[in-house]
A and B are shown apart, each in its own frame.
Chain A
């Protein structure tokens, strides 16, 4: 009996501590929240989310629970969150012109948005974000005033550009001016590397080409790995956007631009995105040939090989024996690298499609025997069990 009491006390304490951990969001109507802010003389931090938005949930489970984040926000702002599709949500959505989720607003007592950001952020970044908001000289509203008053200092303009970007506001005009008076020499700095990376990132932009041309200098400034990653991401986005555009000329030109860039991973990226392009356009012969190029010419993982082989196995549009044989070649290479549940399952599926039930059954059984506990626990092996059943039925 005493023990029981003690345990519940501990539980109670822990749960209370648990509550204190992270941001404490206030509850109430918008009017009530405004009244709280006025009374406590603080800004309102407003998390505009929806029930279906992934980054919103990520924030709930991670950053909002972070102790330091909680300490800072609880002390400095009135935190409030609202599902934008429920209750007062639609009214607030309209009032503040919100179009993306999550949008984070800092709002003063006159309902003026003084600072703004969007998208998931790590705790450290999220605390910095609030620090900007409570400093009249650093928040977006303050920067806008400074800009309006005529400040055109490069360091100020960079800060302003990043604040506009964080807030999802237009910045092309400011950026064009900034670049128009930044000399090549000035451009060769870590700050301007960051600017080109985050504000431009478009391989057709002259300043992006400038960065490519001066790659070695930038590598000295920010590291070779960083520059390579940046280029990889930029070309990947570039190609993927062109692919999704549905504009054939744009796609062809994007491939040419990437191919001529001299970037070491250009060929790999083109081949990889081409696979998606042909899949999207149901050009199955080209689809298979580009996967085959991708597997043979680039140093790709056994997991990727298995993935493509599995895609071929489940694609009803692909029945030609020579093509299935190509896929079998990929899977054999994958197994040779490391025999695992996944690649053996893909092999089984392929063999069944090719009519080789005997070998298919063997591969399926190997697959099951190699499945990890986790794979079994999460029932990822269910397709193999189904496959075996199917093989036995057809035999």
Chain B
């Protein structure tokens, strides 16, 4: 009887583990040559998840998307799936061969090791299924589009789709974009399709298309929404400013700021104030940094409790900022945040700041208020620890 129970248990265990295996993508074992051989034998494409041990989106993808039942069924039926840490063993050479610079890179290859389709980044099950379908379709996958392009296909519609493929695959677009835009008149440019082309691929404020977008912002606002137009403009200038900042070329930085200041962009002051906070933080000029943050949030984020709280927390965490003036300023942001919304997160920041200021008494009080404001699913252990530490 006892024995029977044990056998029964192991059967149940076996079948559970079997079900567990069948759920989601089954990745094959073996080296690259063996995987290619499997693809040839089974006459399937290889799905290759190129990841690294430290990459967050890779883990997210593995945990959420690859485990999806529908995804598993589809990929197991249609592909030889393979995954590899690109910084270990054979991964290093393959990363070089396939010029992999972003993680995760998702490759689809034939048995000869030729790339048929390629993209990068995490995505949910639905998008990932669509990715697999595109990879299988010679009319839509990267290799098929490249062939059509090579054969001389140049219709605008085709080129727009081709640009999307190249962009997904991380390939350069400028040469094709220059050709695409050249014959287009201003009227041609003022369409939803071409707003999308500009929005997706034009990122230089100096480009004629971006200047056109600035000039015709209102007209584009009628075609799409004003918000989409403004967001695009904001993003272009923002990355332009960050690019100038990271170049460590002070002249470039000043010129970029002057460009933004003199542009007709709606929120240019806000953007400049925002980027200034990064600039002084990068320079470790903490006094000016606090002033810049104060300027930014008191002018543009006063109605945003999360933002107010976030900056307050950053001041608390920053070990280089210890002076009372700065801490008081930060406390004022957090107080305002609590006025807008009394919750655990900002009361906790308040307690932390007060603690850093040396005001234990008020800090303990604030910490207790934080715990009281916490919802059931919020983890308050950090705050409790702080109280315990202060009560010693």
Q: Assess whether A152 is in contact with B152, with CB atoms less than 8 Å apart.
A: no
Grouping DSSP codes into helix (H, G, I), strand (E, B) and loop, the A interface class, with mixed when no group exceeds half, is helix
From B149, B174, B175, B182, A181 is in contact (CB under 8 Å) with B182
From A150, A173, A177, A179, B174 is in contact (CB under 8 Å) with A150
**Distance (whole angstroms) from the CB of B94 to the closest CB of chain A:** 27
How far is A148 from B174 in the complex, measured between Cα atoms in Å? 8
How far is A176 from B176 in the complex, measured between Cα atoms in Å? 12
Q: Assess whether B179 is in contact with A152, with CB atoms less than 8 Å apart.
A: yes
Q: Does A296 interact with chain B (Cβ within 8 Å)?
A: no
Contacts of A176 in B (CB 8 A): 152, 154
How far is A176 from B149 in the complex, measured between Cα atoms in Å? 9
Binary flags per residue of A159-183, CB closer than 8 Å to B gives 1, else 0: 0000000000000110011011100
How far is A148 from B175 in the complex, measured between Cα atoms in Å? 7
Contacts of A150 in B (CB 8 A): 174, 178
Q: Does B382 interact with chain A (Cβ within 8 Å)?
A: no
- Among residues of B, the one whose C-beta sits closest to the C-beta of A176 is B152
How far is A148 from B177 in the complex, measured between Cα atoms in Å? 11
How far is A180 from B162 in the complex, measured between Cα atoms in Å? 16
How far is A176 from B152 in the complex, measured between Cα atoms in Å? 6
How far is A50 from B183 in the complex, measured between Cα atoms in Å? 46
Contacts of A179 in B (CB 8 A): 152
How far is A172 from B149 in the complex, measured between Cα atoms in Å? 10
**Distance (whole angstroms) from the CB of A317 to the closest CB of chain B:** 44
- Among residues of A, the one whose C-beta sits closest to the C-beta of B151 is A176
Q: Assess whether A177 is in contact with B150, with CB atoms less than 8 Å apart.
A: no
Contacts of B152 in A (CB 8 A): 172, 176, 179-180
Say which size band chain A's interface belongs to. Answer: 10 to 19
**Distance (whole angstroms) from the CB of B315 to the closest CB of chain A:** 45
Q: Assess whether A152 is in contact with B182, with CB atoms less than 8 Å apart.
A: yes
How far is A147 from B182 in the complex, measured between Cα atoms in Å? 12
How far is A150 from B183 in the complex, measured between Cα atoms in Å? 13
How far is A173 from B154 in the complex, measured between Cα atoms in Å? 10
**Distance (whole angstroms) from the CB of B243 to the closest CB of chain A:** 18
Contacts of A148 in B (CB 8 A): 174-175
Q: A150-B174, A150-B178, A152-B178 are in contact. Are A172 and B150 (CB under 8 A)?
A: yes
How far is A172 from B147 in the complex, measured between Cα atoms in Å? 13
**Distance (whole angstroms) from the CB of A6 to the closest CB of chain B:** 68
Binary flags per residue of B239-258, CB closer than 8 Å to A gives 1, else 0: 00000000000000000000
Binary flags per residue of A205-238, CB closer than 8 Å to B gives 1, else 0: 0000000000000000000000000000000000
**Distance (whole angstroms) from the CB of A224 to the closest CB of chain B:** 30
**Distance (whole angstroms) from the CB of B295 to the closest CB of chain A:** 39
How far is A147 from B179 in the complex, measured between Cα atoms in Å? 10
From A147, A172, A173, A181, B183 is in contact (CB under 8 Å) with A181
- Among residues of B, the one whose C-beta sits closest to the C-beta of A150 is B178
Contacts of B149 in A (CB 8 A): 173
Residues facing A in B124-156 (CB within 8 A) are 149-150, 152, 154
Q: Assess whether A180 is in contact with B182, with CB atoms less than 8 Å apart.
A: no
Contacts of A172 in B (CB 8 A): 150, 152
**Distance (whole angstroms) from the CB of A266 to the closest CB of chain B:** 26
How far is A152 from B176 in the complex, measured between Cα atoms in Å? 11
**Distance (whole angstroms) from the CB of B174 to the closest CB of chain A:** 7
**Distance (whole angstroms) from the CB of B357 to the closest CB of chain A:** 56
Residues facing B in A178-209 (CB within 8 A) are 179-181
User: Which of A172, A176, A177 gathers most chain B CB within 10 Å?
Assistant: A177
Residues facing A in B173-205 (CB within 8 A) are 174-175, 178-179, 182-183
Residues facing B in A79-125 (CB within 8 A) are none
**Distance (whole angstroms) from the CB of B392 to the closest CB of chain A:** 67
How far is A176 from B175 in the complex, measured between Cα atoms in Å? 13
**Distance (whole angstroms) from the CB of A173 to the closest CB of chain B:** 8
Contacts of B174 in A (CB 8 A): 148, 150
Q: Assess whether B178 is in contact with A180, with CB atoms less than 8 Å apart.
A: no
How far is A183 from B183 in the complex, measured between Cα atoms in Å? 11
**Distance (whole angstroms) from the CB of B227 to the closest CB of chain A:** 30
Contacts of B183 in A (CB 8 A): 181
Binary flags per residue of B84-97, CB closer than 8 Å to A gives 1, else 0: 00000000000000
How far is A299 from B175 in the complex, measured between Cα atoms in Å? 52
Contacts of A173 in B (CB 8 A): 149-150
Q: Assess whether B154 is in contact with A180, with CB atoms less than 8 Å apart.
A: yes
How far is A147 from B174 in the complex, measured between Cα atoms in Å? 11
- Among residues of B, the one whose C-beta sits closest to the C-beta of A152 is B182
How far is A172 from B174 in the complex, measured between Cα atoms in Å? 17
How far is A152 from B181 in the complex, measured between Cα atoms in Å? 10
- Among residues of B, the one whose C-beta sits closest to the C-beta of A178 is B179
How far is A172 from B151 in the complex, measured between Cα atoms in Å? 9
How far is A180 from B152 in the complex, measured between Cα atoms in Å? 8
**Distance (whole angstroms) from the CB of A283 to the closest CB of chain B:** 35
**Distance (whole angstroms) from the CB of B384 to the closest CB of chain A:** 61
- Among residues of B, the one whose C-beta sits closest to the C-beta of A151 is B178
How far is A152 from B150 in the complex, measured between Cα atoms in Å? 19
**Distance (whole angstroms) from the CB of B163 to the closest CB of chain A:** 14
Binding site for A on B (CB under 8 A): 149-150, 152, 154, 174-175, 178-179, 182-183
Contacts A147-B175, A177-B179 known; 13 new A-B pairs at CB < 8 A: A148-B175, A150-B174, A152-B178, A152-B179, A152-B182, A172-B150, A172-B152, A173-B150, A176-B154, A180-B152, A180-B154, A181-B179, A181-B182
13 A-B pairs with CB atoms under 8 Å apart are: A148-B175, A150-B174, A152-B179, A152-B182, A173-B149, A176-B152, A176-B154, A177-B154, A177-B179, A180-B152, A180-B154, A181-B179, A181-B182
The 8 closest A-B pairs by CB, nearest first: A180-B154, A152-B182, A181-B183, A150-B178, A176-B152, A177-B179, A152-B178, A176-B154
